[in-house]
Amino acid sequence: MILARSLFWRIYATLLASLLLAALLIALLWGAVGESPVAAWRHMPRQLLEAAIPEADIPPGAIAQSAHRVAEAIAGDVTVLDRSGHVLASAGADLSHGAFPRDGEWDGRRGEGVWVFRLHDGRRVLARFGVGLRRPGWHVLLALLAVALAVGLAALPVVARLTQRLERLRGTVERWGAGDLAARAAVRGQDEIAAVAASFNAAAARVQALLDAHRALLANASHELRSPLARLGMATELWQDAPSPALRDEITKNMDELNQLIDEILLASRLEHQGPVRASTVVDVLALAAEEAARTGASVSGTVAETPGEARLLRRMIRNLLENAQKHGAPPVEIAVASDASGGVRISVQDRGPGLPEAERERVFAPFYRPPGAGEGSGGWGLGLALVRQIAASHGGTVRCDARDGGGSVFVVALPPDSGVRPV
């Protein structure tokens, strides 16, 4: 309801107050700069009357004729008095009866609208105008007030519509804050309110996507953690009954798997909040690829390629690509590094495995991706490739999966030359 909308009344009251203040200032300026109606009737009409009415009645009747001409001009009555107050001439009704008003002022006591003008020789001219003379100052002020009222009434629906949009936006924000993450504000028009609504929708969508990703990560991580924990518990029970090197190796393997999974979860969470990498060092990508290839037994080729970035993250990206090729592809695994003319770096890792269908080449970068129809025993991609995409994005780069000629898959990472300053 309008009565309950405090913002509406504040905006509307401010508008009305501004209009009234403007009308008052104009009226004051009128009185300060321009000559008042009383002052105008004291000067200009007196000069006109002195020019119209002769000082002496020569020839006889000249003053009376002049008084008649003035009376006809003003469509009213005119009486000319001498210094003593005696009537010299009168046209129309005799205005000399009763109390005289002061010079140039309205005779409010008699209510007859009589004006008096004192000439330089002491004579006085009484005039009653038949044209409806009024003080223009008050009428100007009333006109300004009327204009202010009209503008105020016209602004009423505009202000009401403005505050209604703000109230709807506030209601949407309150619903979103109460837990309705799908709530979005209506974007109408191209003004500031529409811009705020669009910004809110974009921020709400980002927050919702982030929370959904966290929920999915938590659910998938919980599911993936159960398998090594179950195997570890079973191996521990068997170790208590009959210790053996094979059980010890199984326990160590499961512990390593748990540590790696926890490390990947923490790294993925840090990359989500870290944003772009602001690195001041230049990393030799070919050297990192050679070190990781020696550790995994892959072959490496290429030319020296350098890029600004964080060496630890780039090493982890290359390691995950090589381990993914070894686990889900087939040897030989090859990694190649090259730089382009603009200073960008291209890293490609390929294997001779069965490859991925085209429909699955984008899904493989999802956290804890598992191929269709594959059970837990066949293994999954975990967070390895998801981290590869996050690390590449944090350096301003991209990653994609292509099919290799002759069979197998090839993962290509492209890092731009200004990777250290690009946003995620």
Per-residue pLDDT tens digits for 255-277: 776 776 677 666 666 666 665 66
Q: What is the pLDDT of residue 400?
A: 92
Cβ within 8 Å of residue 88, ≥6 positions away = 57, 63, 80, 81, 82, 123
Query: Across all residues in the chain, what is the average pLDDT?
Result: 76
Q: Mean pLDDT across the stretch 27-35?
A: 61
Q: Which has the higher per-residue pLDDT, 303 or 31?
A: 303
Q: Is the pLDDT of residue 377 over 70?
A: no
Third-level CATH fold of 208-273? Helix Hairpins (1.10.287)
Q: Where are the beta strands (DSSP E) in 183-313?
A: 282-284, 299-302, 306-308
Q: Which has the higher per-residue pLDDT, 247 or 389?
A: 389
Q: Mean pLDDT across the stretch 123-141?
A: 69
Residue whose pair of structure tokens reads 């390929």 in the numeric block: 350
pLDDT band per the 50, 70, 90 thresholds, residue 408: confident
Third-level CATH fold of 35-133? Beta-Lactamase (3.30.450)
User: 135 pairs with which residues across the strands?
Assistant: none
At 187 the three-state DSSP class reads coil
The verdict on pTM exceeding 0.95 is: no
Per-residue pLDDT tens digits for 149-179: 777 777 777 667 767 777 888 888 888 888 8
Q: Is the peptide bond before 332 cis (omega within 30 degrees of 0)?
A: yes
Q: What is the pLDDT of residue 7?
A: 58
DSSP classification of residue 103:
B
pLDDT band per the 50, 70, 90 thresholds, residue 420: very low
Q: What is the pLDDT of residue 367?
A: 75
Highest mean pLDDT among 161-175, 181-195, 307-321: 307-321
Per-residue pLDDT tens digits for 60-78: 788 888 889 988 888 888 8
Q: Could you tell me if 305 and 415 are in contact, meaning their C-beta atoms sit under 8 angstroms apart?
A: no
At 336 the three-state DSSP class reads strand
Per-residue pLDDT tens digits for 84-110: 888 888 888 888 876 555 555 444 334
Q: CA–CA distance from 292 to each of 66, 309, 395 (Å)?
A: 120, 17, 20
Q: Mean pLDDT across the stretch 335-348?
A: 88
Provide the angle, in degrees to the nearest 10, between the axes of the packed helices 37-52 and 62-74. Answer: 140
Q: Is the pLDDT of residue 135 over 60?
A: no
Q: What is the pLDDT of residue 412?
A: 93
Q: Could you tell me if 422 and 370 are in contact, meaning their C-beta atoms sit under 8 angstroms apart?
A: no
Q: What is the pLDDT of residue 175?
A: 85
Spacing of C-alpha 283 from chain mean position:
40
Q: Where are the beta strands (DSSP E) in 104-260?
A: 114-118, 124-128
Highest mean pLDDT among 30-34, 74-78, 214-218: 74-78
Q: Is the pLDDT of residue 413 over 90?
A: yes
Q: What is the pLDDT of residue 163?
A: 72
Q: Is the pLDDT of residue 2 over 50?
A: no
pLDDT band per the 50, 70, 90 thresholds, residue 418: low
Q: Which has the higher per-residue pLDDT, 111 or 10?
A: 10
Third-level CATH fold of 275-421? Heat Shock Protein 90 (3.30.565)
Question: Closest by alpha carbon to 264, among 381, 384, 413, 380?
Answer: 384
Cα angle for residues 252, 257, 263 (degrees, 5° grid): 125
* Polymer length of the chain: 424
Q: Could you tell me if 101 and 115 are in contact, meaning their C-beta atoms sit under 8 angstroms apart?
A: yes
Q: What is the pLDDT of residue 347?
A: 92
Domain boundaries, the chain: 35-133, 208-273, 275-421
Structure tokens at 292: 């990781």
